[in-house]
């Protein structure tokens, strides 16, 4: 799988950009705040329809302009795909695949599957299908990307919401059924919470009967999410143990433990028992939206008892496990995006990460072509970024 090119127009600090990537290692370097991460963000946008920074569309559109455009060209199994995204300041974004508009952003999931790898994480169309796209499921698996940013190094010590987000993002890209269940669960959860507020202010028999219906839907989709997460973590554990053992020279054993807020066998009863409390607090207190993960190193909770180095090593092992899992599921190599993450790793972890890249197309951002990059990574294409302008240096 290869990202062939990306075109940007009025995107962040880019008036216009047309970048063509090499199928192996691409380096994007420059000083801070020049626009390096914006390029990776645009690729991420074409996978999830959202910014990994949590930015709103109007914040992405270049200052002084009303709209922004992204065009991403991808080659997978000798098939070409073009994703066009039209961002607007005051309207819903427009998205098309191979020239065919899609109605909902959720349909974009699975076209590009991303694992975002950044330093923070260490702390946690012209050719191609032209038939009309009718369902979101038809788009799954076109592009698979692993994104590693500094934020990823924070996943161990950050709050539970980041660890749930990790599970949901990866599962949504690899499993279209899980994504559908997650979307439905979140809809039900929002509707139930709204109903709880209505009941708290003006209770009635009719509202309570409606609550019964939402409770059934909550349990139905919630149990499917719990089972999906259980299976996902089981697969991660079959991969991560070997990676972490090699990374630590065999002195540490790691296990990722899934901690569901409720058991599938007890969920219905738990919802019933917490109903009055839910009405009092006007929010649903039980369900997979409260789940968490625990990372155990030699049977100790690394979040509570591990050093910062151990937490970062565990985060790196998790990211590398994502790469291997994506390979296993899609029977192809993903595209790896490294957003200034190498500077956050010591030499041993740097070497391990580089040796793990193998034949994966990799796009790296960094502040300079220092000795480490020149001597340890075979670079196929180099771009220098200066204030929203990119120059191909080879």
Listed residue (38, 24, 202, 47) closest to 139, CA to CA: 47
Note the pLDDT of residue 111: 55
Residues 22 and 102 grouped into a single domain: yes
Note the pLDDT of residue 136: 34
> 């607007």: which residue's tokens?
88
Q: Half-sphere exposure of 206 toward its Cβ, with a 13 Å CA cutoff?
A: 2
Q: For residues 286 and 302, what is the distance between their CA atoms, to the nearest angstrom?
A: 26
Residues 272 and 338 grouped into a single domain: no
Instruction: List Cβ neighbours of 279 (8 Å cut-off, separation of 6 or more).
Output: 196, 199, 200, 203
Note the pLDDT of residue 139: 43
Q: For residues 220 and 228, what is the distance between their CA atoms, to the nearest angstrom?
A: 13
Q: Is the residue at 149 inside a domain?
A: no
Residues 75 and 224 grouped into a single domain: no
Listed residue (183, 200, 151) closest to 52, CA to CA: 151
β-bridge mates for residue 51, sequence order: none
> 């801070």: which residue's tokens?
32
Q: What's the pLDDT tens digit per position in 2-40?
A: 999 999 999 999 999 999 999 999 999 999 999 999 999
According to DSSP, the β-strands at 25-29 and 362-366 are parallel
Note the pLDDT of residue 255: 97
Q: Which residues of the chain have pLDDT under 50?
A: 114-115, 124-140, 371
Residues 138 and 161 grouped into a single domain: no
Residues 109 and 203 grouped into a single domain: no
Residues 352 and 321 grouped into a single domain: no
Q: How many domains does the chain have?
A: 2
Q: Is the residue at 152 inside a domain?
A: no
DSSP readout, 304-373? Answer: HH--HHHHHHHHHHHHHHHHHHHHHHHTSPPEEEEES-GGGS-HHHHHHHHHHHTT--EEEEES---HHH
Q: Is the residue at 150 inside a domain?
A: no
> 């409770």: which residue's tokens?
215
Domain of 350? 1-144+332-394
CA–CA–CA angle 269, 159, 105 (5° rounding): 80
pTM: 0.85
Residues 343 and 314 grouped into a single domain: no
Which CATH number covers residue 242? Answer: 1.20.1050.90
Contact of 35 with 6, CB cutoff 8 Å:
no
Nearest 5°: phi and psi at 38?
A: -60, -35
Q: Is the residue at 151 inside a domain?
A: no
Contact of 113 with 143, CB cutoff 8 Å:
yes
Residues 225 and 281 grouped into a single domain: yes
Q: For residues 54 and 44, what is the distance between their CA atoms, to the nearest angstrom?
A: 12
């Amino acid at each position: 799988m290869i990202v062939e090119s990306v075109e940007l127009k009025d995107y962040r600090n880019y008036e216009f950009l047309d970048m063509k990537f090499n199928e192996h290692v691409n380096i994007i370097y420059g000083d801070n705040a020049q626009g390096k991460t914006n390029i990776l963000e645009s690729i991420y946008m074409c996978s999830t329809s959202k910014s990994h920074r949590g930015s709103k569309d109007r914040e992405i559109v270049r200052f002084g302009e009303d709209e922004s455009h992204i065009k991403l060209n991808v080659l997978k199994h000798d098939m070409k795909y073009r994703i066009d995204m039209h961002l607007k300041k005051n309207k819903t974004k427009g998205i098309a695949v191979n020239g065919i508009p899609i109605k909902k952003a959720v349909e974009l999931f699975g076209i590009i599957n991303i694992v975002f790898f950044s330093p923070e994480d260490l702390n946690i169309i012209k050719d191609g299908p032209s038939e009309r796209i009718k369902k979101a499921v038809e788009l799954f698996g076109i592009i698979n990307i692993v994104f590693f940013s500094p934020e990823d190094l924070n996943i161990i010590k950050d709050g539970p919401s980041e660890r749930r987000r990790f599970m949901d993002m990866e599962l949504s890209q690899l499993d279209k059924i899980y994504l559908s269940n997650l979307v439905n669960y979140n809809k039900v959860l929002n509707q139930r919470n709204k109903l709880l507020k209505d009941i708290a202010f003006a209770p009635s028999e009719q509202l309570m009967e409606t609550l019964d219906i939402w409770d059934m839907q909550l349990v139905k989709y919630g149990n499917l999410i719990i089972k999906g997460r259980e299976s996902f973590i089981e697969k991660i554990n079959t991969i991560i143990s070997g990676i972490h053992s090699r990374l630590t020279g065999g002195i540490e054993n790691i296990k990722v433990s899934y901690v569901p807020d409720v058991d599938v066998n007890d969920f219905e009863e738990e919802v019933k028992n917490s109903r009055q409390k839910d009405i009092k607090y006007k929010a649903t207190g039980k369900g997979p939206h409260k789940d968490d993960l625990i990372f155990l190193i030699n049977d100790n909770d690394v979040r509570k008892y591990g050093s910062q180095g151990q937490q970062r090593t565990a985060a790196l092992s998790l990211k590398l496990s994502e790469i291997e899992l994506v390979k296993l599921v899609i029977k192809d190599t993903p595209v790896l995006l490294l957003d200034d993450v190498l500077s956050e790793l010591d030499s041993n972890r740097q070497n391990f990460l580089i040796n793990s890249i193998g034949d994966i197309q990799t796009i790296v951002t960094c502040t300079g072509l220092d000795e480490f990059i020149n001597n340890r990574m075979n670079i196929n294409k180099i771009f220098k970024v200066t204030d929203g302008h990119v120059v191909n240096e080879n």
